[in-house]
Amino acid sequence: MTILKDVLGELFAMFVADVRITTAILAIIAVTAILMDLAGVSALVAGGFLLAGCLLTVIVGVLGAAR
């Protein structure tokens, strides 16, 4: 049971190392999809938003954690 618990914990930690970063990334992806499908924004602009959002998440995540 301990091994199973450790494996599940490891899998969870792999993708949710920091709840705020995970939430931010999922929100950026959701907004990208909405921009493309509902707002009719061109795929290239939506792609730029996705990339810029992820890059910004790295900076904000590192600066926030160091505070």
Nearer to another protein, 39 or 65 (CB): 65
Residues 1-40 that bind another protein (CB under 8 A): 3, 6-7, 10-11, 14-18, 21-22, 25-26, 29, 32-33, 36
Angstrom CA distances, 62 to 29, 31, 33, 41, 58, stand at 20, 22, 26, 30, 6
Residues in contact with 32: Cβ distance below 8 Å, sequence separation at least 6, in sequence order: 46, 47, 49, 50, 53
Minimum CB–partner distance for residue 14 and another protein (Å): 6
Q: How many residues belong to the site for another protein (CB under 8 A)?
A: 34
Residues in contact with 29: Cβ distance below 8 Å, sequence separation at least 6, in sequence order: 50
Residue numbers at the binding site for another protein (CB under 8 A)? 3, 6-7, 10-11, 14-18, 21-22, 25-26, 29, 32-33, 36, 43-44, 46-47, 50-51, 54-55, 57-59, 61-63, 65-66
